[in-house]
Structure 1
Amino acid sequence: MSELTQVLGRIERDGDVVAVVFDRHYATTPDDLWQACTDPERLARWFAPVTGDLRPGGRFTIHFDDADTPQCRIVTCEPTTRLVWEWPIRDVATVVTADVTADGEGSRLVLRHERLTSTQVAGYAAGWDTYVRSLEAHVAGLPGPDWDVTWSALHELYAVTS
């Protein structure tokens, strides 16, 4: 199967509240994966530039290419294992949780973005799916997928399942 014919995440529903969840193995150590998820220099390579205070209670801004600049707040930071932050989307403080654990010869990232609406989930699922693919390439030292092509193909797939 081509990498763009299947989605990597799953959508969970609780009434009108929706979450997208990714559970992925990475061929790197938990410490390296944690650094890739929390170091601004590394985040810019696979996710987006991030500025601000990445400590508990701190606030930071994500600078996406499309001029979207959400102002987020760290809720929980347990170095090397758990990061939880609020990501405001319109008038809702959505919540993103990243859990990092050892997994055999590598590590595992369980990424969950919750409090999304049914109309938002396909776009955010496609975005996170593209990012977890980019993270996999980043830790392997390879170039990531083309954002626009990957997101568009995945958005169509998630739109059908959401």
Structure 2
Amino acid sequence: MSEPTRVLGRIEREGDAVAVVFDRHYATTKADLWAACTEPDRLARWFAPVSGDLREGGTFTIHFDDADTPVCRVIRCAPPERLVWEWPVGEVAGLVTVGVATDGDGARLTLRHERLTPAQAPGYAAGWDTYVRSLDAYLRGADGPDWDAMWSALHELYAAASTSGAADPC
């Protein structure tokens, strides 16, 4: 695995409220990107196995390799453009918003995970950054990065930016 030379996302702060944000172009169609982000069999190829109901008002469980299994609640599902869900993180339900749009000759993903604490932000930023890279590799038919190694390298970059007070480590 090559070391990442830069992060792909940014950390936004407003007081104690922190969000991690990603905005990426993919060489695929809007419909394909939406399916990759909402169909359990496809999510398992670049994110994690997901079981449950991904419809508005439904709940689903993310089954991560480390035995973390958050049960999330879908707040809004507006195919093929927006999926919003609550992701329980301790006592707080983080809010994840995924937007998909046509973007020139491809599609654009915007992902925002908010309601994080300053201490949580570098870890979630590194995780989502690794997944954004994995999604790109999956859509190109390539192997994704070594998740643990990529997360560790990215976490260092996001943590350094976070402690330096930089809101946007790009």
TM range (shorter): over 0.9
1:5 Cα offset (Å): 1.6
Alignment TM-score, normalising by the size of structure 1: 0.98
Task: Deviation per CA, 1:10-46: give whole Å up to 9, x if none.
Answer: 1100101100000000000000000000000000000
Partner amino acid for 2:77? C
Corresponding residue for residue 110 of structure 1: 110
Corresponding residue for residue 75 of structure 1: 75
Corresponding residue for residue 29 of structure 1: 29
Partner amino acid for 2:62? I
1:58 Cα offset (Å): 0.2
Mark the runs of 5 or more structure 1 residues left unpaired by the alignment: none
The alignment's C-alpha RMSD in Å is 0.8
Point out 4+ residue stretches in structure 1 off by more than 3 angstroms: none
Corresponding residue for residue 65 of structure 2: 65
Measure the CA separation in 1 of the matches of 2:72 and 2:120. 18
1:3 Cα offset (Å): 5.9
Corresponding residue for residue 84 of structure 1: 84
Task: Deviation per CA, 1:36-74: give whole Å up to 9, x if none.
Answer: 000000000000000001100000000000000000000
Task: Deviation per CA, 1:79-137: give whole Å up to 9, x if none.
Answer: 11000000000000100000000000000000000000001000000000000000001
Corresponding residue for residue 18 of structure 1: 18
